[in-house]
Homo-oligomer: A and B are copies of this chain.
Amino acid sequence: MQLNDSDAITININGCREDIPEDPQKNCAGLAIVDLLKEVNSNIGVLIEPRKMITVGAGLGSSGACASAAVYGLNKLLNLNFGMDQMIEIASRGEIASGSVAHADNVAGAMLGGFVIVKSYQPVEVIRIGVPEIPIVIGVMKKTQRTTRSLIPTSMALDVVKEQLALCSRVVHAIMTGDIEELGRVISKDFISEPVRSRSIPGYSTIKKKLLNGGAYGCNVSGGGLSVFAICDRQGTHDIAEIMKHSFAEQNIDSETIITYASNQGIREIFCE
């Protein structure tokens, strides 16, 4: 990221470019920068060169991470002294470029690392909880698409709400006690996102069943995109990754498999050549 006197926001994407728009109004990081500059009444020129090392449009939050990085960097370069909550708020508006809605789901996690509860939106306030070691295997369909956020229904029966509240409480409890098996059981259930979003993944229920039978503690759709993630124990990651790969292949889906771990590290500065 660099400041210049061009009066313009310029985005040059490196790495997994795919179809990421470089128009600032259509790019999450770009839109976040537009918003921030408006907020501080500046028309300074900004060049960003995101290096995407992850598949795009897969519901893995890379656009949110990029928006967070843009806001964090600009806060530093312009000496704005924005607090974390304020930076999250601005970055969350960048998400409008990918899903039409401002939301902090991804940017809060990218900023802070760990597990983040968004307490409120106006103003944005969050609680960050440190995570135990959580091995995660992700299967990404190699196909870009906009998020499926708009498909989620707008109301929910109260007896289902009750179940979802119990699930939500259990997630927090499982993370805080470091109980990964319980976490797996809980994240495998969901009444809001999974029923809608899994529809876009051919053979989703079969893939899920194979992963759970193969020893994964839990499995669900990742974010709004077309990825499936599973959590398991450290010893099991390669086996689960194999099952993931084969289950996708059986559905004739061209996929990429990633083995990773939940991270407590939030945003940070790195220096590249």
User: A158–B165 contact, CB under 8 A?
Assistant: no
Q: CA A154 – CA B155 in complex, angstroms?
A: 11
Which of B154, B161, B164 sits near A192, CB closer than 8 Å?
B161
Q: Are A169 and B170 in contact (CB under 8 A)?
A: no
Beyond A161-B161, A173-B172, is A166–B120 a contact (Cβ under 8 Å)?
yes
Kindly identify which residue among B117, B157, B170, B171 contacts A166, using a CB–CB cutoff of 8 Å: B117
What residue of chain B has the Cβ atom nearest to residue A154's Cβ? B158
Q: How many copies does the complex hold?
A: 2
Cα A118 to Cα B164 in complex, Å, equals 11
Contact residues, A167-187 vs B (CB, 8 A): 168-173, 176
A-B contact list, 26 entries, CB within 8 Å: A117-B169, A117-B170, A118-B166, A119-B170, A120-B166, A127-B170, A127-B173, A152-B158, A154-B157, A154-B159, A155-B156, A155-B157, A155-B158, A156-B156, A156-B157, A156-B158, A156-B161, A158-B192, A161-B192, A165-B165, A165-B168, A168-B168, A168-B169, A169-B169, A172-B172, A176-B176
**A residues touching B (Cβ–Cβ < 8 Å)?**
117-120, 127, 129, 152-159, 161, 164-166, 168-173, 176, 192
